[in-house]
Amino acid sequence: MEKAQPKIALLGASGMLARKVREKALATGYIVTLYDLPDFDMTDRAKVLQELTRLQPDVIINCAAFTNVDGAETQQDLAMVVNGTAVGYLTEAALAVDAILVHVSTDYVFDGQKKSPYVEGDAPNPKSAYGRTKLAGEQAIIQSGLDKYFIVRTSWLYGPGGNNFVETILRLAAEREELRIIHDQVGSPTFTGDLADAIFSLLESVTSPQPPGPSLYGTYHFANEGSCSWYEFACEIVTLAKKQALPIKSQRLLPIRTEEYPLPAPRPAYSVFSKEKYLVATGAEIPGWKDSLVNYLKSRNNL
C-alpha cells in the first residue's frame, strides 16, 4: 500500500519566507494548504482549531507574524495577539491532531549585549515590544505540553516577495549619491531560501528512519554563516549590484552610529547566532552570507 503524501498547513502563506517554504515543501513531496488573511485569521481561536482539525496536517508551519518592529512599539496589543496569543492556538491545534509545529522566531528575543555568538540556552532579554511579543510566542509553545515542535530563531531575513534590507538598499542606491548606514550593529544576514532548506532539514531529522536517541525537537538558531554590520552588508549589496550592472547612483556609503539614526524600537547591537546545535542535528551545510547574497541577486534578475 502506497504511503499517503504528508500534509503541511502553512500559515502566513503570502509572506516572504512562506514563498520559499512552499517551494521547498512541494519539491520535497508534501501537500501544502495555504492560510493567510483575509480568508484565515490565526487570532480567531475557534477558526484555527476548526480548520486545522478538519485538515489533519502532519506539520504546521507558522510563518505568520506582526513583523513591523517599530510599529509594535505603538501597537503592542495587536502584536502580542498575533505573535504571542495566536501561537498558543496553534499549539492547541498541533496537540489535537498530533502534528509537528514549526514556529519561526527572531534574534530580537535577545538584548544584544553578548560579545560571542548566542546559543539556544542563552537567557532571552528582549528590549523591544516586537522582541517581547515574539518571546511570548516561544513561551506559549514551550509551556503548552507539546513535545513535537521546532522553534527556529533567525536574523536579518531577506528574499523575494517582501520588504527587506537588500531591496531597500538597492532602491536607495538607485536614487541617492550618498547612503548613511549603521555600522555598530552586527548580525548575520539570512536568505529565505536557506532558512526554508533548514526547516526541512530539521523536519527530516525527526521524520526519516533513525536509531533511537535523544529527541531532536526544540529550539534552534539558524542564519547564514559569517557576520557583518549593516554597513558592511550594504557595501556588499552595492558592490555586487554594480557588478551586475544594476542601476546604482550611490558613490559613497558612510558608516554611522545607531544614535545618529534613532528609531522607535531598540535593536540588538550584536545578534550573531551559534548554529552548532543545528549542524549536529541535521549534518547540513550552511551557506555563507556573501554566497547567498550573490545567488539572490542573480535569481532576482531572472524573475
Q: What is the mean pLDDT of residues 178-197?
A: 98
The set of cell numbers assigned to 152 is 527556529
Q: Which residues contact 114 (CB under 8 A, 6 or more apart)?
A: 122, 270
Can you give the pLDDT at residue 303?
54
Q: What predicted TM-score, i.e. pTM, was given to this entire model?
A: 0.96
Flag whether 58 is in a domain: yes
Can you give the pLDDT at residue 171?
97
Percent of the chain at pLDDT > 90 equals: 93
Distance CA 226, CA 31 (A): 34
> Read out DSSP for 267-295?
--SB-PBP-HHHHHHH-----BHHHHHHH
Flag whether 172 is in a domain: no
Can you give the pLDDT at residue 300?
84
Q: Which residues contact 107 (CB under 8 A, 6 or more apart)?
A: 118, 153, 154, 155, 156, 187, 223, 268, 271, 273
Can you give the pLDDT at residue 212?
62
CB-based contact 59:10 (threshold 8 Å): no
Can you give the pLDDT at residue 3?
67
Flag whether 73 is in a domain: yes
pLDDT band at 265 (very low <50, low <70, confident <90, very high): very high
Flag whether 26 is in a domain: yes
Which of 89, 130, 231, 278 is catalytic? The answer is: 130
Distance CA 119, CA 274 (A): 5
210: CATH: 3.40.50.720
Flag whether 13 is in a domain: yes
Above 70 in pLDDT, residue 257? yes
Above 60 in pLDDT, residue 109? yes
Flag whether 195 is in a domain: yes
Q: Which residues contact 276 (CB under 8 A, 6 or more apart)?
A: 119
Q: Which candidate, 104, 130, 64, 72, places its Cα nearest to that of 268?
A: 130
Cell 519566507 sits at which residue? Answer: 17
Can you give the pLDDT at residue 4?
82
Can you give the pLDDT at residue 208?
80
pLDDT band at 140 (very low <50, low <70, confident <90, very high): very high
Domain range holding 219? Answer: 7-163+189-226+272-287
Above 70 in pLDDT, residue 1? no
CB-based contact 124:153 (threshold 8 Å): no
Mean pLDDT for the chain overall: 96
Can you give the pLDDT at residue 2?
56
Number of domains observed in the structure of the chain: 1
Flag whether 170 is in a domain: no
pLDDT tens per residue, range 276-285: 999 999 999 9
Question: Does the annotation mark 130 as catalytic?
Answer: yes
pLDDT tens per residue, range 45-97: 999 999 999 999 999 999 999 999 999 999 999 999 999 999 999 999 999 99
Flag whether 294 is in a domain: no
pLDDT tens per residue, range 206-251: 988 766 667 899 999 999 999 999 999 999 999 999 999 999 999 9
